[in-house]
Structure 1
Amino acid sequence: LPQGQLSILQEKIDHLERLLAENNEIISNIRDSVINLSESVKDGQKNPEAINFSQGSVSELFPSTSVLLAVDSEDCLFASKTGGRSSGVQMLDVYDILPFDNPDGGVWKQGFDITYNENEWDSEPLQVFVVPHSHNDPGWLKTFDDYFRDQTQHILNNMVIKLQEDNRRKFIWSETSYFSKWWDGIDSQKKHAVKRLIKDGQFEIVTGGWVMPDEASSHYFALIDQMIEGHQWLEKNLGIKPKSGWAVDPFGYSPTMAYLLKRAGFSHMLIQRVHYSIKKYFSTQKTLEFFWRQNWDLGSSTDILCHMMPFYSYDIPHTCGPDPKICCQFDFKRLPGGRISCPWRVPPEAIHAGNVQHRAWLILDQYRKKSKLFRTNVLLVPLGDDFRYAESSEWDQQYQNYQKLFDYMNSRPEWHVKAQFGTLSDYFEALHKESSLSEKSSNSFFPVLSGDFFTYADRDHHYWSGYFTSRPFYKHLDRVLESYIRAAEILYSLALVQSSKSEKMSVFPSVDNYKLLTEARRNLGLFQHHDAITGTAKDWVVVDYGTRLFHSIMNLKKVIIDSAHILILKDKSAYNYDTATPFLKMDDVQASQDSLPRKTVIKLTLQPR
């Protein structure tokens, strides 16, 4: 090469060597920071007051209490053990023996004709728990915010008013994402009323995750994270911890979710969307209630009692019994003159003295037939549908007419029935008592099942499998946000400790960045909703989800930059927070929620950086 080109090449080599030296120094500083942090943690364990996060009001954002989760010894030893299957019902075996045909079952199209002897309940009355609920999708046909504005806030506002009118009324709620948004906008008097309703057992939060998540496409990290986010909010604001799982709308069910619920302290749960052939088979075997055990568990430490709803849907026509034409007549929102009616063209009738006997007997017949699919005389009857109870009139229609039916049934001792409103936990508590679950032999009363409930089909071999891969761009964006959240949480925690040991605590944006972390976790949690990550929402709703994911990724990059800045400085006193001139740059740039990221190009010149 000519002498001039050799000189230029030598200069570039020298420049690269200087850059490598700078990088080595940065890595050395990070290593020193980690070592110092480890020593700080040890000091903090010996002396909890050694690390003080009270400055900057950041402590106000943390959960008020810490939660310690015990790891069962069996969870870590299963791989080293050998043995046969420990469950009585193996779903892989069930799939092998079922023909998956679809014969016409009569009024219960996907089932069979149910008969009973009227004297069956003479010695042990039928206990009926009617559980009012409203399924609120955090985005589907409308965006999360639009649903809240148009329907959800009115449901919760009416709940506070209507439950207080009669202490026999009950109601359950699942989605903490909606509940927290509503809570932030109500006054202290209404908040006090809600806490009293919870204390009195009239109102129950079920599952309590940020959403009711999909269980096929979601990563277990996100499933846990959205549950933590919801439970921390409930503990901080309501002082409660949910104990009953409620999943009526996810499109199939994973044993992983059952395991997470069990390890979160739940003892029972409910599922609905299971293949119709499996529901029919379980109904014939009376195995709709079972202990769900992990396949790898050779003991019983992962057992959680699960209730599978037997019929087509969670709406009112498919929950009181096998005949939707009859059950629809007891959805009093469909009374003549309303906006919706029964597709079977037999409308409901308002309950009065002249028809109460006939109407009570009509629905009791459905209750009895449904109870024949289960092993106890305790019956669960959900009463609700998507975004129900948004209007004050519906609360009156449902609660007043059902109370008249209950009062009449309960006044007829020869009918041998006790019917009432209840929460999900009311039902499971009665079930525990009925089946003597407190005894050592309780597991023998209900079968033990292992396996999953995929792939779901609701009718006519319509398999819900497309959502496993639909809208792959946003499924990928979900995983990207997950990785940014974990990286940002780690760096933020390290930076918070470092800043607390120096005079830079007030300079480091701990409060602002903690809020960005919380917002990111909630946006990730929102996307685990069974109409979000699945890709089953309308296009404009998907754009709203994508925008939330994108904004959180951008915000977390800021948290990472701010945290890494203070960590790599050997002299912490040199730290200076300036939003206009960030100390570091990320390695990729994404312009919008629907664009591909581009790698940042670093141009090397002879000029110093």
Structure 2
Amino acid sequence: MKLRKQVTVCGVAIFCVAVFSLYLMLDRVQHDPARRQNGGNFPRNQISVLQNRIEQLEQLLEENHQIISHIKDSVMELTDTGAVSPSGHLPFRSANGSWVLPFDGRPTFLAVKPQDCQFAVGTRTQTDVQMLDVYSLLKFDNPDGGVWKQGFDITYEPDEWETEPLQVFVVPHSHNDPGWVKTFDKYFTDQTQHILNNMVVKLAEDPRRKFIWSEISFFSKWWETADVYKQEAMRKLILGGQLEIVTGGWVMTDEANAHYFAMIDQLIEGHQWLERNLGIIPQSGWAVDPFGHSATMAYLLKKANLTSMLIQRVHYSIKKHFASTRSLEFMWRQAWGEWTSASNVF
């Protein structure tokens, strides 16, 4: 408790210094002789200077917010919040103010049976779907409507799930592009570091919570800036199964236009980092944002000892066809060699 009070006082002091700096800057501008000589109006060069100073102040305030957030996260890790409420069964507020449901020991999900996953039963060597034949059947049109914009209506009978409950698979995740609208560092400063910081805190609050992460370029940068307490908390979450590293590439690589050497290189970079720093090897692939998927990537993941993968960006016509024929889970066989990879369309 004493540590928390000290940290709170330090945070308030930093904020007061920032506000006082703003006051001094505005007071100086108001008494600027150039303004008085100009009939009470700011010259253009003074306005430019003022804008620059305001931008600098905004940056200082943002840095101050990040420092306080970092201190708050560190305090959360040093204090034992636990995952059980004082009453033993009612929701309670954690030290950071968020509501937490107490863990009663009962699983919140059903066990996955082998028959629920088509490719988990036995060893399959023959392919069921030839995509060249599928292409000749589909119009690849874009009808508007349905659950998706180019999807189809989904209906069910009210008593359909009385004998066996419907299984819903929810995968909490956050896809972070190392390069898109912002720079890599800007993405990390504005968004990614906060996602990872919150992830450590929230997963530690409740052992039922799960998360996955794929982009090791961002993860390694966070690791380098995190203190030993955050690193140890993250390591425990991974070893305890609450956080899973999927694919483990340096980036979520493009599969449509990238050279296979670049795809291998980024995969090696990510896997070597994971081996050196965490001693883990990913088991599943996760590709939700590449614009198109290549059999090359499935082949490379199989060679890297991954056992399955999930893909997302395929044409809606293919998704609908696979859904209607119950082929969303399939063994992906390349046109060359004998390797097959377990794949799933999301």
User: TM-score band, normalised by the shorter chain?
Assistant: 0.5 to 0.7
Query: Contact (CA 8 Å) 1:110, 1:280: kept in 2 or not?
Result: no
- The reply on whether 1:307 has 2:344 as its aligned counterpart is yes
Once residues 162 and 305 of structure 2 are traced to their aligned partners in structure 1, the CA distance between those partners, rounded to angstroms, is 37
Instruction: Identify which of 295, 300, 312 aligns with 1:260.
Output: 300
Counterpart of 1:135 in 2: which secondary structure?
Answer: coil
Consecutive unaligned residues of structure 1, counting only runs of 5 or more, are: 1-84, 310-609
Matches within 5 A, 1:331-342: none
Tell me which amino acid in the other structure corresponds to 1:302. Answer: W
Query: Contact (CA 8 Å) 2:274, 2:281: kept in 1 or not?
Result: yes
For normalisation by structure 2, the TM-score amounts to 0.61
Tell me which amino acid in the other structure corresponds to 2:300. Answer: L
Correspondence for 1:161: 201
Q: Compute the displacement of 1:100 (Å).
A: 2.0
- The reply on whether 1:201 has 2:238 as its aligned counterpart is no
Instruction: Identify which of 99, 111, 115 aligns with 2:155.
Output: 115
Correspondence for 2:176: 136
Once residues 151 and 107 of structure 1 are traced to their aligned partners in structure 2, the CA distance between those partners, rounded to angstroms, is 30
Matches within 5 A, 1:272-291: 272-291=312-331
1:15-38 CA-to-partner distances (Å, cap 9, x unmatched) read: xxxxxxxxxxxxxxxxxxxxxxxx
Q: Compute the displacement of 1:110 (Å).
A: 1.4
Tell me which amino acid in the other structure corresponds to 1:87. Answer: T
Tell me which amino acid in the other structure corresponds to 1:211. Answer: V
Once residues 137 and 103 of structure 1 are traced to their aligned partners in structure 2, the CA distance between those partners, rounded to angstroms, is 30
Q: Compute the displacement of 1:216 (Å).
A: 1.9
Instruction: Identify which of 233, 254, 258 aligns with 1:218.
Output: 258
Q: Compute the displacement of 1:204 (Å).
A: 0.9
Matches within 5 A, 1:86-485: 86-297=126-337, 301-309=338-346
Counterpart of 1:181 in 2: which secondary structure?
Answer: helix
Once residues 106 and 121 of structure 1 are traced to their aligned partners in structure 2, the CA distance between those partners, rounded to angstroms, is 22
For normalisation by structure 1, the TM-score amounts to 0.35
Q: Compute the displacement of 1:104 (Å).
A: 3.5
Counterpart of 1:233 in 2: which secondary structure?
Answer: helix
Q: Give the number of equivalent residue pairs.
A: 222
1:566-591 CA-to-partner distances (Å, cap 9, x unmatched) read: xxxxxxxxxxxxxxxxxxxxxxxxxx
Once residues 148 and 220 of structure 2 are traced to their aligned partners in structure 1, the CA distance between those partners, rounded to angstroms, is 39
Greater shift, 165-174 or 124-133, is seen at 124-133
Greater shift, 101-110 or 198-207, is seen at 101-110
Q: Compute the displacement of 1:130 (Å).
A: 1.6
Tell me which amino acid in the other structure corresponds to 1:304. Answer: S
1:263-318 CA-to-partner distances (Å, cap 9, x unmatched) read: 11111101111111111211211111111111234xxx522221111xxxxxxxxx
Q: Compute the displacement of 1:88 (Å).
A: 2.2
Tell me which amino acid in the other structure corresponds to 1:157. Answer: N
Query: Contact (CA 8 Å) 2:274, 2:280: kept in 1 or not?
Result: yes
Q: Compute the displacement of 1:120 (Å).
A: 3.4
Tell me which amino acid in the other structure corresponds to 2:172. Answer: P
Query: Contact (CA 8 Å) 1:289, 1:306: kept in 2 or not?
Result: yes
Query: Contact (CA 8 Å) 1:290, 1:307: kept in 2 or not?
Result: yes
1:169-223 CA-to-partner distances (Å, cap 9, x unmatched) read: 1111110000001101111111111111011111111101000000122111111
Q: Compute the displacement of 1:105 (Å).
A: 3.8
Tell me which amino acid in the other structure corresponds to 1:203. Answer: L
1:83-119 CA-to-partner distances (Å, cap 9, x unmatched) read: xx95221111111111223333434331222222334
Query: Contact (CA 8 Å) 2:140, 2:315: kept in 1 or not?
Result: no
**Structure with greater Cα Rg:** 1
Once residues 190 and 148 of structure 2 are traced to their aligned partners in structure 1, the CA distance between those partners, rounded to angstroms, is 35
Once residues 260 and 246 of structure 2 are traced to their aligned partners in structure 1, the CA distance between those partners, rounded to angstroms, is 20
Counterpart of 1:118 in 2: which secondary structure?
Answer: coil
Once residues 284 and 129 of structure 1 are traced to their aligned partners in structure 2, the CA distance between those partners, rounded to angstroms, is 19
Correspondence for 1:585: none
Counterpart of 1:172 in 2: which secondary structure?
Answer: strand
1:398-443 CA-to-partner distances (Å, cap 9, x unmatched) read: xxxxxxxxxxxxxxxxxxxxxxxxxxxxxxxxxxxxxxxxxxxxxx
Pairwise CA RMSD: 1.6
CA gap of 1:161–1:118, structure 2 versus 1, over 3 A, is same
Query: Contact (CA 8 Å) 1:106, 1:112: kept in 2 or not?
Result: yes
Tell me which amino acid in the other structure corresponds to 2:318. Answer: I
